[in-house]
A and B are shown apart, each in its own frame.
Chain A
Amino acid sequence: MIEGILIGLTTALTLQNILMVMVGCFFGTIIGMLPGLGPMTAIALMIPITYGFDPATGLILMAGVYYGAVFGGSTSSILLNAPGVPGTVATSFDGYPMAQQGKAGKALAIAAWSSFAGGTLSAIYLLFMAPSLSKVSLSFRSPDYFALMILGLTAIAAFSSKGQFLKAMMMVVLGLMLASVGQDSLSDITRFTFDNMNLTDGISFVLVVMATFAMSEALTIILKRNDPTSAAKQVSLTELGSIKINKEERTKMYKTIPRSSIIGFLIGVLPGAGATIASFLAYGMERNVVNDEEKEKFGKGSVNGLSAPETANNAACSGSFVPMLTLGIPGSGTTAVMLGALLGFGVQPGPRLYMTNPEIFWSIIMSMYIGMVILLILNLPLIPYIARILAVPKNYLIPLILFFSVTGIYVMSFNNFDIYLMIGIAVVATFLRLYDFPMPPLILAFVLGGLMEENLRRSLLLSNGSWEFLWDRTLTLCILLTTILIVVWHFYKSIIRK
């Protein structure tokens, strides 16, 4: 492991890679701050740029964007009560009241320190857990992988918002259907191309991401710009106040950060869970463990109430790298985008990644430490200035997002058809978003589609067409039982609520 850490440090500490982390954190923070634009959009916009670099550098850039965007999301949560990303919704519960009390600077500083501590602690957990998880995952066979993908897709659907399970499952199926377009990987037989040569190689991952996130996000913002219920509204900035944290507040944070980071990391490791659930769970847990006096302050500007979700969402970001790097299963929609980008680089994440490409594996882990430090150095002094980006008029922002989306596809294929296809998918996605059909399950399914078919093919061929492979191995059975438990728990909760 020491050798790996050294390899990682050597790669991560090159001037180019440090610069990439800085650029990534900076742009991530800015994009994450814009309501509606989350890390997934930020990373999607970065993909075309990363293709100019080697895989390690490209991934380091995307990881920097990821942390930056999550922190940026907290800024708009605190200042505008308009979370840039779902993972920072819980941040607004106490961050926004704090800002309203004229302590916006303090709230942003608490968020920055908590994010830093959460991210750093979880990077340490990742350092020790990833190799051992990787060894365990070497025992995985095709049926286990197939079951694991079913678990990941079901989990992301079950963990989606209230009453959205069936909608999310429909999006999962749609994502898998889109992934099935093009040549079959084994027989080269074309499927669903309708004799269109442009579809022979399938639909590009970048195209689907750009269409369902960046482009449809932009169209949704325009569509809802006059909607009074929409969170995407322009609010002028007020005084930020001091960014100093006093001794009493620090003491509170010292207790909150370790427990929230553990929760965040463990939730982040689960495929399909991610920063949103982690932050809500950490907030809920913190409220249960503090004394009655502190409990009263929750929702009115509590330091614990702000620190807990902020620590947890950043810890979950690092945690979500575990299943992506060691199993090839993304832990969240954002890591699904990164997985797709990795596959685009020709790198296959999975149990053997840290043996076949140690420089990628370890440099990402090492860059997390560096990223957290840079994020803190960049964000603390720049808080008052960065916050001004919130004042960028939508009239300029929207065309620029569309421009980045089209450019991303243009530089990849030099093909009009891909641009039309992207616009078409974006229009459908915008309409679906309007009626609360979630997009992350679609992306996760699109990314996993090929791998899922491959593992099902192997499993069925090895078992001579029998579905017994689903319960032949204990591991497969355990994963499937977990999937069933998640679905049953989801429906049980729905019934209890009613």
Chain B
Amino acid sequence: MNINTTKIISLLFFIFSSFYLYTAYQIQVFAFDENAPFNARTFPIYLGYAGLFFSGLKLILPEHNTIKVDHKNLEYKKTAILIVIAIIYGATILKVGYFLTTSLFLFSSYYFLGERRWVLMFLLSFPFVAAFMYLLHGILDIYLRDPFLQLIGVMG
């Protein structure tokens, strides 16, 4: 089945714009602002209509330069793994701390992307993150929250 994905994206954008427009109309404004020439919902309403207009045009007009993506050549599995690792990284960074989670994130990402040079993988994760932390925290004075390093007494 030959489906033009650009048209599907345009249709999704059309639906999204409809939802945005509906939500824009629901924005509560102050009573005295209700009939003002411009209030908090004016601009979003215009944007909603603009979204409907452009995505509608894209849907209606014929597509001359159809983008063909060969899905067989795309690495969906590795990309998905990387996204999941990034989500886990995001979920643990505050509770566990910057150093450990970042180092583990880098190490596991190298691994899942097919790297097997263990020494290089280690050097570009734990010592690299330590050096980067020193640059941010020690030199540039940017605060980095790290309960793990505080627990083991490395960070004050």
User: Are A and B a genuine interacting pair, yes or no?
Assistant: yes
Q: How many A-B residue pairs have C-beta atoms within 8 angstroms? Tell me.
A: 178
Q: Which residues of A contact B83 (CB under 8 A)?
A: 219, 423, 427
Q: Which residue of B lies closest to A226 (CB)?
A: B73
* Interface segment, one of A28-36, A306-314, A401-409: A401-409
Decide: B37 and A170 in contact? CB cutoff 8 A.
no
Decide: B43 and A222 in contact? CB cutoff 8 A.
no
* Interface segment, one of A68-76, A132-140, A429-437: A429-437
- Bitwise, B79-116 to A at CB < 8 A (1) or not (0) is 10011001101110110001000100110011001110
Decide: A222 and B75 in contact? CB cutoff 8 A.
yes
Decide: A410 and B79 in contact? CB cutoff 8 A.
no
Q: Which residue of B lies closest to A175 (CB)?
A: B47
B65: Cβ under 8 A from any A Cβ: yes
Using known A-B contacts A166-B58, A395-B110, A460-B42, determine if residue A498 contacts B64 with beta carbons closer than 8 Å: yes
Decide: B110 and A226 in contact? CB cutoff 8 A.
no
Q: Which residues of A contact B5 (CB under 8 A)?
A: 435
Name A395-442 residues within 8 Å CB distance of B: 395-396, 398-400, 402-403, 406-407, 410-411, 414-416, 419-420, 423, 427, 430-432, 434-437
Decide: A420 and B74 in contact? CB cutoff 8 A.
no
Decide: A461 and B37 in contact? CB cutoff 8 A.
yes
* Interface segment, one of A187-195, A335-343, A354-362, A363-371: A187-195
* Chain B CB within 10 Å, residue with most, of A176, A400, A403, A414: A403
In the bound assembly, the distance between CA atoms of A48 and B143 in angstroms comes to 12
* Chain B CB within 10 Å, residue with most, of A166, A186, A187, A430: A166
Q: Which residue of A lies closest to B29 (CB)?
A: A189
- Bitwise, B119-150 to A at CB < 8 A (1) or not (0) is 01000100000001000100011111100000
Partner of B28, one of A49, A189, A403, A434: A189
Decide: B140 and A177 in contact? CB cutoff 8 A.
no
- B107 CB to nearest chain A CB (Å): 9
A346: Cβ under 8 A from any B Cβ: no
- A325 CB to nearest chain B CB (Å): 26
- A187 CB to nearest chain B CB (Å): 5
Decide: B75 and A399 in contact? CB cutoff 8 A.
no
Q: Which residues of A contact B47 (CB under 8 A)?
A: 173, 176-177, 180
How many residues of chain B get a CB closer than 8 Å to chain A's CBs?
70
In the bound assembly, the distance between CA atoms of A410 and B97 in angstroms comes to 11
Partner of A411, one of B24, B44, B61, B142: B142
Using known A-B contacts A52-B142, A177-B47, A399-B106, determine if residue A187 contacts B40 with beta carbons closer than 8 Å: yes
Q: Which residue of B lies closest to A219 (CB)?
A: B79
Q: Which residues of A contact B76 (CB under 8 A)?
A: 223
Partner of A465, one of B27, B37, B40: B37
Decide: A167 and B70 in contact? CB cutoff 8 A.
no
Partner of B109, one of A399, A430, A434: A399
Decide: B91 and A227 in contact? CB cutoff 8 A.
no
Q: Which residues of B contact A173 (CB under 8 A)?
A: 17, 47, 50-51, 54
In the bound assembly, the distance between CA atoms of A137 and B9 in angstroms comes to 40
Decide: A187 and B114 in contact? CB cutoff 8 A.
no
* Residues of A contacting B: mostly: helix
Q: Which residues of B contact A465 (CB under 8 A)?
A: 37-38
Using known A-B contacts A396-B124, A423-B83, A427-B83, determine if residue A435 contacts B9 with beta carbons closer than 8 Å: yes
Q: Which residues of A contact B67 (CB under 8 A)?
A: 434-436
Q: Which residues of A contact B29 (CB under 8 A)?
A: 187, 189
Decide: B57 and A166 in contact? CB cutoff 8 A.
yes
Q: Which residues of A contact B65 (CB under 8 A)?
A: 162-163
Q: Which residue of A lies closest to B107 (CB)?
A: A399
Q: Which residue of A lies closest to B133 (CB)?
A: A407
Q: Which residue of B lies closest to A407 (CB)?
A: B102
Decide: B98 and A223 in contact? CB cutoff 8 A.
no
In the bound assembly, the distance between CA atoms of A186 and B144 in angstroms comes to 34
- B37 CB to nearest chain A CB (Å): 3
Decide: A163 and B64 in contact? CB cutoff 8 A.
yes
Q: Which residues of A contact B6 (CB under 8 A)?
A: 167, 435-436
- A4 CB to nearest chain B CB (Å): 30
Q: Which residues of A contact B102 (CB under 8 A)?
A: 403, 406-407
Q: Which residues of B contact A186 (CB under 8 A)?
A: 40
- Bitwise, A146-170 to B at CB < 8 A (1) or not (0) is 0000000000000000110011011
Decide: A177 and B74 in contact? CB cutoff 8 A.
no
Q: Which residue of A lies closest to B98 (CB)?
A: A410
Q: Which residue of A lies closest to B87 (CB)?
A: A423
Q: Which residue of B lies closest to A414 (CB)?
A: B145
Interface CB pairs A-B, < 8 A, 30: A163-B65, A166-B58, A167-B6, A169-B54, A173-B50, A173-B51, A174-B13, A180-B47, A191-B41, A191-B44, A222-B78, A222-B79, A227-B70, A396-B115, A396-B120, A402-B82, A402-B105, A406-B89, A406-B93, A407-B132, A411-B142, A411-B144, A419-B90, A423-B83, A423-B86, A434-B67, A452-B43, A456-B38, A460-B38, A461-B38
Q: A187-B39, A403-B102 are in contact. List 6 more A-B contacts (CB 8 A).
A: A184-B40, A222-B78, A398-B82, A434-B69, A460-B42, A464-B37
* A-B complex: 10 closest residue pairs judged by Cβ atoms: A465-B37, A419-B90, A399-B109, A184-B40, A52-B140, A163-B65, A395-B113, A395-B115, A189-B40, A227-B73
